[in-house]
Amino acid sequence: MNSGLTLKLVDSFIALSESKLNISGESTVDPNAVFPAVGALTLSLQNPEVFLEDLGGISAMYPQMEKVIAMYSALADRKTTPEGVTTDSLELKFTQEGKILSNGKDVTPLFEQK
């Protein structure tokens, strides 16, 4: 059975004082995939260190937030403009074979349960 259900996230963002998280992606139900869906997610985070500071009280409520941002930054491609704006970009793909690709690199083992 193929429902054809697709979820799209278009030009979504969280803008804080001096940081911004942009998110877009698409996921489609695929009964032939290892996981129930396949798709891609693109994230772009300007000034990741400032983003964490801006989250302030939220990170106190979610202590894993810093680890998530650190992992995101480790997997992302980092660029800094001459003006000093640092942007971490990440393109994730979830394949029919159950692979997770981060900017074209297979990072599936990072997410496997042990």
Residue 113 covered by a domain: no
CA distance 91 to 104: 8
Question: Residue 69 domain-assigned?
Answer: yes
Distance between CA 43 and CA 21 in Å, rounded? 7
User: In this structure, what are the phi and psi dihedrals at residue 85, rounded to the nearest 5 degrees?
Assistant: -85, 120
Please answer whether residues 10 and 24 qualify as being in contact, where contact means their C-beta atoms are separated by less than 8 angstroms: yes
Per 3-state DSSP, the chain is made up of helix, strand and coil in percentages (nearest 5) of: 25, 40, 35
Asked whether residue 105 is domain-assigned, the answer is no
Residues 57, 20: Cα–Cα separation, whole Å: 17
Domain range holding 25? 6-100
Residue 1 lies in a domain: no
- Residue 114 inside a domain? The answer is no
Instruction: Give how many domains the chain has, as a whole number.
Output: 1
pLDDT per residue as tens digits for the range 22-54: 999 999 999 889 988 899 999 999 998 888 887
For the whole prediction, is pTM greater than 0.95? no
